[in-house]
């Protein structure tokens, strides 16, 4: 065999990885490891100053650090893509049929409520720590789908769709939680301005405006208004996305085209950059005893125990009483493994932790410990369970 053929054969698995569901999750794992390594090395001061040091100049005075630009501006793109996915799924996807969305909606609601209850049990009545109740309620789509991608055809397509729809409904819940519970104060003038801009975007949708440029300009203006209104600026991303028309007048896809244009940037730039800026935990500054503190334990237990308990139990009850059937072709063992994978919180959990404790940097760091530990444990356990309960495809055994 020639050297070229050998190199091509050796590179084929790597090429397959780059285009698979697994790559997004693997990239986030690598980014998290790099962030933790940087925060616990001689580069820690430079790492912290890079993201939290005051910028010499900024076009938006309220965003005076790179960390704020990433969390308040760049993450608006992440939420914009989430909004596009939500609208597509509700209009023409897995959430369009009321019967088919019963199970993922029920599972997502239970998968947010039970972790929150477990979190509150661990922190007791501490009025400061209670603010973090929503941290373990989120599921990271990229991470969870990445682990599923590593298992290949072992996981039924119906279970992949179930995980995806649960995560999407979960995102809707997280956005509502951020808007309702993590808004510090409201500036009425800017809020009215936001409503006016939103009304303009809706009017353009109703008038079936074909050009994307007015929607982009409107979305940017809405982001500025929401940023200064007191509501978290990333909410503007979701709201603006919902106004993008599904189709142009000539019948060509508009929303899908925008989503496809952004999904790569979102997965391979926005989310990894957010992860690198937020996952760096200075372990040496807190010591190993921090793992046993109430906050990391509450977050970790909510993710690892609460997620699987809420989702698996709700599906089992729904199937038993005939409210909704479990995904076709999926065993209870596979459903359990998938429920465990939903305990991977990472992106949204990190985001909510920064909102929950804005005046307590140490608590944000402790929350990160619980998020990273809980997400890693959920990923490993979920992978092992699915690997054990699902036989290898016949082709793989041959």
Q: What are the extents of the domains in the chain?
A: 65-391
Per DSSP, the three-state class of 247 is strand
Instruction: Give percent above pLDDT 70 in the chain.
Output: 91
pLDDT grade, residue 9 (50/70/90)?
very low
**Could you tell me which CATH class the domain 65-391 is placed in?**
mainly alpha
**Prediction pTM value:** 0.88
Residues in Cβ contact with 116 at an 8 Å cutoff, skipping those fewer than 6 apart: 133, 134, 136, 137, 302, 306
19: confidence class by pLDDT, cuts 50, 70, 90: very low
Mean pLDDT to the nearest integer, 122-132: 94
Contacts of 56 (CB under 8 A, 6+ apart): none
Distance, in Å, from the CA atom of 328 to the CA atom of 326, rounded to the nearest integer, reads 6
Nearest one of 382, 397, 392 to 152, comparing CA atoms: 392
- Residue-wise pLDDT for 233-252, tens only, equals 999 999 999 999 999 999 99
Query: Using one digit for the tens of pLDDT, what is the confidence trace for 249-276?
Result: 999 999 999 999 999 999 899 999 999 9
Higher pLDDT, 115 or 149: 115
Task: With beta carbons less than 8 A apart as the criterion, state whether 139 and 166 touch.
Answer: yes
Q: Per residue in 47-78, pLDDT tens?
A: 999 999 999 999 999 999 999 999 999 999 99
Contacts of residue 328, Cβ cutoff 8 Å, sequence gap at least 6 = 156, 158
Closest to 145 in 3D by CA, of 380, 344, 396, 387: 344
Binned at pLDDT 50, 70 and 90, residue 396 comes out as: very low
Instruction: Tell me which of 135-144, 195-204, 336-345, 358-367 is least confident.
Output: 135-144
Average pLDDT over residues 115-141: 94
Tokens found for residue 289: 């005893």
């Amino acid at each position: 065999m020639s050297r070229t053929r050998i190199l091509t054969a050796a590179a084929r698995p790597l090429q397959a990885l780059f285009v698979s569901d697994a790559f997004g999750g693997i990239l986030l794992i690598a980014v998290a490891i790099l962030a933790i390594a940087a925060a616990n090395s001689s580069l820690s001061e430079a790492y912290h100053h890079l993201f939290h040091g005051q910028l010499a100049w900024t076009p938006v005075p309220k965003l005076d650090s790179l960390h704020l630009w990433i969390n308040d501006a760049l993450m608006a793109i992440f939420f914009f893509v989430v909004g596009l996915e939500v609208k597509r799924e509700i209009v023409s996807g897995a959430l369009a049929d009321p019967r088919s969305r019963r199970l993922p909606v029920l599972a997502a609601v239970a998968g947010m409520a039970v972790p929150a209850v477990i979190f509150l049990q661990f922190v007791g009545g501490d009025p400061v720590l209670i603010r973090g109740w929503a941290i373990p309620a989120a599921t990271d789509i990229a991470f969870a789908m990445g682990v599923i991608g590593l298992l290949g055809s072992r996981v039924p397509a119906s279970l992949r769709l179930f995980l995806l729809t649960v995560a999407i409904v979960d995102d809707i819940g997280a956005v509502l939680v951020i808007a309702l519970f993590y808004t510090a104060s409201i500036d009425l003038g800017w809020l009215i301005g936001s409503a006016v801009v939103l009304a303009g975007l809706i009017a353009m949708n109703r008038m079936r405006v074909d050009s994307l440029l007015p929607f982009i300009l409107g979305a940017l203006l809405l982001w500025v208004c929401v940023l200064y209104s007191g509501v978290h600026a990333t909410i503007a991303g979701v709201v603006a996305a919902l106004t993008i028309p599904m189709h142009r007048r000539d019948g060509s896809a508009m929303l899908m085209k925008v989503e496809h244009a952004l999904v790569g940037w979102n997965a391979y730039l926005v989310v990894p950059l957010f992860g690198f800026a937020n996952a760096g935990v200075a372990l040496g500054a807190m010591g190993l005893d921090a793992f046993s503190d109430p906050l990391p334990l509450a977050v970790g237990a909510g993710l690892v125990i609460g997620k699987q308990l809420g989702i698996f139990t709700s599906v089992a009850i729904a199937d038993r009483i005939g409210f909704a059937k479990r995904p076709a072709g999926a065993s209870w063992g596979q459903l359990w493994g998938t429920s465990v994978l939903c305990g991977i919180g990472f992106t949204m959990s990190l985001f909510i932790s920064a909102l929950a404790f804005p005046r307590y940097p140490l608590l944000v760091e402790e929350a990160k410990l619980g998020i990273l530990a809980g997400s890693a444990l959920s990923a490993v356990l979920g992978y092992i369970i699915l690997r054990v309960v699902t036989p290898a495809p016949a082709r793989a055994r041959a």
